[in-house]
Amino acid sequence: MSFLRFAARRVAEMAATLLAASFVVFGALYLAPGNPAGFLLAGRSASPDALAAINAQYHLDEPFAVRYLSWLGDVVQGDFGRSLTYRTDVSRLLADRLPTTLLLIGMALVVVVVVGLLLGRLSAVRGGATDTAVLVGTAFAVGTPSFVAAVLLQGVFAVQLGWFPSSGAGDGLLDEVRHLTLPAIALALYLIGMLARVTRSAMLEALDSEHVTVARSRGVPERQVIRRHVFRNSLGTVLTTGGLIVSTLLVCTVLVETAFSIGGVGQLLELSTSTKDFPTVQAISLIIVALFMSVNLVVDLLLPLVDPRIALGTRSSSA
Amino acid sequence: MTAVLTRRPGLARLRTARSPLHPLCLGLVGLVTAAALLAPWIVPHDPNAVDLGNALAGPSAAHPLGVDAAGRDTLSRLLLGARTSLLGPLGVVLFSTLAGLAIGMAAAWRGGWLDSVLSRSTELVFAFPGMLLAILVVSVHGEGLLAPVIALSLAYLPYVSRLTRSLVLAERARPYVSAYRVQGHSAPQICLRHVLPNIAPVVLAQSAINFGYALMDLAGLSFLGLGVPALTPDWGRMVFDGQTAVQHGYPLSAVLPCVFIVLTVVAFNVVGERWADRVARRDR
Amino acid sequence: MTPTRTPHALDVQGLRVTLPGTARPVLDGVDLHVAAGETVALVGESGSGKSLTSRGALGLLPPGATVAGRIRVRGHDVLAMKPEQLRALRTDTVAMIFQDPRAALNPMRRIGDFLVESVTLTRTMNRADATARAGELLQAVGLDASALRAYPGQVSGGMLQRVMIAAALMGDPELLLADEPTTALDVTTQAEVVALLAELRARFRTGLLFVTHDLDLAAAISDRVYVMYAGRIAESGPAEALFARPRHPYTAALLASTPRLEAPGGRLAAIGGHPPDLRRELTGCPFAARCPLATELCERQAPEQRTAPGLPDHRAACHHTDRLEGSPVDA
C-alpha cells in the first residue's frame, strides 16, 4: 500500500540518480585534453589494431548519445570493456579481486559496528570521565586518515612487534584474515570514531526525553530503560549513517590496500588511475557509486521498520 | 523552517565547550599556519638536497628530525610541506564556499525549477565521495594539485549550498526582507548587503569543518602519488616516500608527517566544531 | 509517629529540598498526607513545587538535590529505600500519571508493550497475565483491547491519557499521583478523563494525589486540598471549607482570579507581582510582596500554620488569617 508506493518512488529516484551518475562517469572521458582515442591510448603503442579496437569499444565514430547508450547497455550486462593496461576484460579483473576486498570491508564493518556502538553507548550512559575519554579518543580517530592509520599500524604491529604480516593478502581464509586484520583496523578507525559520536549524541537526545523518566518512574530496571528506550530509539539515527559508512569503506580501500600491498579492487583503482587505464577506473567508480546508493536505499526502506513514526508519516525520513 | 549546520555526522552535537582540547588546538592551528607562512625563511636546509650517503640517518645537530631515504632533511620538508598541505584545503574551502553560497542563494531566492534542478544535482554529487571524484578527475587529467582541488571543491560544494539554501529560506521569511523590498531594494542588493552578513558566520563555520576533511582527502591523494608532483614537499607525499623505510624498520621519516597530519586535522576539526557550536547557540 | 492505625497511603513530613545553585529551598517544610482511598488536590502556580512534591513520592528527585524530612508510603520511608525496594515501590505501590501523554510514551514501542513493561520486566507478573490484565484495564478506561497493538502515534491525545491511566493501574497501586493529567488535553477530553479518574479511584480504592493549577477542577474532584506557594503549603483543608472560606490571602486571590460562570460581568482580579525568585533568600512570608494584608511582621517572620476555629483540619500559614473573613468573591 503506502509503503509499496514509497518503496517504488525511492527505487525510481535511485535509478534516476544512478543514471545521472553513469553519465558523469562516462562523460569524464571527454574532459580530457585532446581526442578520446588519443587519451585512451596515451603512452601505449597505437597500432592500427589497437586503435580499431578502441574505436569499436567506445563507438568513437558514432554520435555522443549513441556512444553513451551503447556503453550503458554493455555496463548493464556486466561488460565494462577491456582494461588497457592488463589487456583483459575489466569484469574479469574485478571478479578476481573482489573477494579479497569484500572480506576486508566485511571485517572492517564488523569492527566499526561493534566497537563504534559500544563506545558511543558507554560514553552516553556513563558520562563523566568515560565520556571525556571517548570524546578525546574519537576526536583523534576522526582526524586520522586511513592511510596514516595503515602506516602507523604497519610500523608498530607488523614491523616492530612482528605480530601480523606487513603486506599481501595471504592464502586460505585463516591466513587471509590474519593478513587483513591490520588493514581492517586501519580502515575502521575513522568510522569507529564517527559512529561512536553519532550513537552518543543520538542516545543523549533519547536520554533527555520524558518517556525515559516515565519508564524509570514505573520501576523499569535501568538496564532495560537504556536498552528499550534509549538505545532502541537512537537506532534510526545510527542506521542513516549506513550509506556513508559503506561508501567510506569502499573509497578508503584504495588507500589501505595500497599501503598494505593487497591485491584488491582498491589497489586496482590506484594502479589504473596512475596508468590512465580509464575503463577500469570507470567501472570501479560506477560500482562504488551504485553500492553507496543501494545501501542508502536499503536504509530508507528499513527506517520505517525501525521507527514507526516514519511509517505513520508523523515524522519525515529526512529528519 | 530552522536551519541546522550540516556537519559530517561524526561531529554532530559534539560538546567541546569545557574540553581542554580547544585552547591547545587553537594554538596548534596558529603554529601550523605560521610555519606554512614563514617556511621559506626558517627552513634549515634545501628540502630537495639529496644526500644518499646519509640516507635514513637519525636525528643529529644538523638534521634535528633526521633525514629520509634520499637523505633529504625531514624538518625542512615538514615545514615547507605545511605550505602545500594547507594550500590545497584552503583552495577547496575557498572555491566550495564561494560557489556554494552563490548556488544556495540562487536556489533559495528564485525557487521553482532552478531550486529543483540544483537540489537534484546536489543529490548526485553526494553520491560521489570526494576522494572518488578526485580520483576520477586525476585519471583523466593526470597528477597535479589543481585538478584534485577542483574535484574536491565540487564534492564539498553541496554541504555549503544546502546549508546556505536553508539559511536563506529562513532569512527571507523575516520581516526586514519584505521591508527592504517594499522600499524598492533589488534582490541582489538585499542578498549581498543584508542576508549574506547574517548567514556568513554559520556558513564559515561549516567551511572550517570542511577544511580538516579536505586536508585528509588531499593528503590521501598525495599518498597514492596522485596529488602533488613528486618533488614537492607535502605531508601525504612524505608518508608515501617514507613507507618503504617503515617496512625496513626506519619509521621516523614517515611517522613524523603522519603525526603532523593527524594533529592538524584534529586541531582544525575541534576549532571548527567549537565555532559551529558557538554560532548555533548564538542563533537560538 | 503517625497516630492513625493504618498508615497513610502517602505521608510527607517537613520535606525540604534544595537544588544546587539556588539560594532558598525549592520545597521548604512541606507537610502533606493522603489517606488510603482519599482524593487530595495539590494546587499552585507553576514553579510552586507541586510537581516536585508528587515526584518525591516515587523517589524521583532531581540529581544533586539535598533532601531533608520524610516521605513515607504506607509507612515505608521512600528516601531510605535501596534501588531494589524503590523499583518494587514504583511497580506495585505508587504510580504516576504524567502531564503530556504524547511525551510520556515511547513513540517507538507499541501501547501494549508500554502497559506491560513495568510488571513483566520486574517479574511481578508473567507476560500472558500482564497482557490479559492490560486488555481488561484498557476496557475499564473505555478503550478497545485492540489498542494494545497500536503505536502511540496512531491514537489521539485523550486516548493516550487513558492508556497512561490504565498503565498506572497495572500494578494495582495504593497511591496514584496525577501530575496535571488534563493540561495537555482539550476541554471535553479533560472532563472525561477527570470523570474516569474519579470512577476508577472509587472502584480500585486507591489514594489519589491530584496535582493541578486549576482550582475548579480541584474543587470538583477532591476531598481535601493543599494550596502551595513558593515551596511551602500556604493553606490546607477540606475542599468545601477551603473554597467557601479561604483562610490564606493567596487562596483568596487565586479564587478571585478564576473566571466564574455564576457571577459574570465582574472583573477578574489578577494577582500583581511575581512569585519569589529561587535565587534570592526568603525571610518572612513568601507571599508578603504580593499580599494586600501584608504588614511589617510578614516581611520579618515566616508565619506558622494556624487552625481555623472549630475546624482542626483547615489550616493556613498566615499572620493575618483572622482578618480574612467573608466570601472569596468579595476579596
DSSP track, A56-97: HHHTTTS-HHHHHHHHHHHHHTT---B-TTT-SBHHHHHHHH
Of the listed ranges A299-308, B80-89, C252-261, the one predicted with least confidence = C252-261
C151 SS3 class: coil
The tens digit of pLDDT for each residue in C120-167 reads: 887 778 888 888 889 888 888 888 888 888 898 888 888 888 898 888
- Distance between CA atoms of residues B118 and B126, nearest Å: 12
Per-residue pLDDT band for B142 (boundaries 50, 70, 90) equals confident
The tens digit of pLDDT for each residue in A47-66 reads: 777 777 777 776 677 777 88
Residue A8 distance to chain B (closest CA, Å) = 18
Cβ-in-10-Å burial (0-12, 13-18, 19+) of A157 comes to middle
Interface B:A, ≥3 CB–CB pairs < 8 Å? yes
Are B55 and B67 within 8 A, CB to CB?
A: yes
**Which triple of cell numbers denotes residue C157?**
491525545
A207 to chain C: nearest residue by CA? C106
Residue B244 pLDDT exceeds 90: no
- Distance between CA atoms of residues A218 and A212, nearest Å: 10
Buried b (16+ CB within 10 A) or exposed e, C176-207: bbbbbbbebbeeebbebbbebbbebbeebebb
Interchain pair A140, B261: CB under 8 A = no
Residue C105 distance to chain A (closest CA, Å) = 5
- Distance between CA atoms of residues B166 and B2, nearest Å: 7
Residue B160 pLDDT exceeds 70: yes
Best of A2, A213, A217 to disrupt the C interface by mutation (most C CBs within 10 Å)?
Answer: A217
Q: What is the pLDDT of residue A313?
A: 63
Of A211, A224, A314, the CB nearest to C103: A211
Residue B3 distance to chain A (closest CA, Å) = 12
Interior angle at CA B271, CA B269 and CA B276, nearest 5: 90
Residue that wins the pLDDT comparison between B235 and C21:
B235
Q: What is the pLDDT of residue A34?
A: 63
Per-residue pLDDT band for B157 (boundaries 50, 70, 90) equals very high
Average pLDDT of chain B, as a whole number: 81
Cell 552535537 found at: B13
Are A139 and B21 within 8 A, CB to CB?
A: yes
Residue B118 pLDDT exceeds 80: yes
Q: What is the pLDDT of residue B58?
A: 72
Among C102, C103, C99, which residue's Cα sits nearest to residue C181? C99
- Distance between CA atoms of residues A105 and A292, nearest Å: 13
Residue B15 pLDDT exceeds 50: no
Interface A:C, ≥3 CB–CB pairs < 8 Å? yes
Among A98, A139, A138, which residue's Cα sits nearest to residue A116? A138
Q: What is the pLDDT of residue B152?
A: 92
C99 to chain A: nearest residue by CA? A210
Average pLDDT of chain A, as a whole number: 85
Instruction: Domain B29-41+63-283: give its CATH code.
Output: 1.10.3720.10
Mean pLDDT calculated for residue range A297-302: 89
β-strand pairing of C10-18 with C66-73? antiparallel
Edge-first strand listing for the sheet containing C311-317: C94-97, C175-179, C207-212, C39-43, C224-229, C232-238, C311-317, C305-308
Q: Which residues of C touch A (CB under 8 A)?
A: 55, 58, 60, 86-92, 95-96, 98, 100, 103-109, 117-118, 121-122, 151, 153-154, 167, 171
- Extract the residue ranges of chain C whose pLDDT is less than 50: 1-4, 327-331
- Distance between CA atoms of residues A262 and C194, nearest Å: 71
Interchain pair A140, B11: CB under 8 A = no
Interchain pair A143, B265: CB under 8 A = yes
Residue A194 pLDDT exceeds 80: yes
Residue B2 pLDDT exceeds 60: no
Residue A147 pLDDT exceeds 70: yes
Residue B121 pLDDT exceeds 50: yes
What's the pTM? 0.84
A192 SS3 class: helix
Best of A151, A190, A270, A285 to disrupt the B interface by mutation (most B CBs within 10 Å)?
Answer: A151
B90 SS3 class: helix
C91 to chain A: nearest residue by CA? A219
Of the listed ranges A90-99, B10-19, B267-276, C135-144, the one predicted with least confidence = B10-19
Contacts of B129 in chain A (CB under 8 A): 247-248, 250-251, 288, 292
Residue C282 distance to chain A (closest CA, Å) = 31
- Cα separation values, A15 from A19, B150, B262, C203, Å: 6, 27, 38, 61
Residue B93 pLDDT exceeds 90: yes
For domain C10-323, give the fold. Rossmann fold (3.40.50)
Residue B7 pLDDT exceeds 60: no
Q: What is the pLDDT of residue B1?
A: 31
Amino acid found at B247 = Q
The tens digit of pLDDT for each residue in B253-264 reads: 888 889 999 999
Interchain pair A309, C153: CB under 8 A = yes
Per-residue pLDDT band for A317 (boundaries 50, 70, 90) equals very low
Chains that touch A (3 or more CB pairs under 8 A): B, C
Are C214 and C48 within 8 A, CB to CB?
A: no
Tell me the domain boundaries of chain C: 10-323
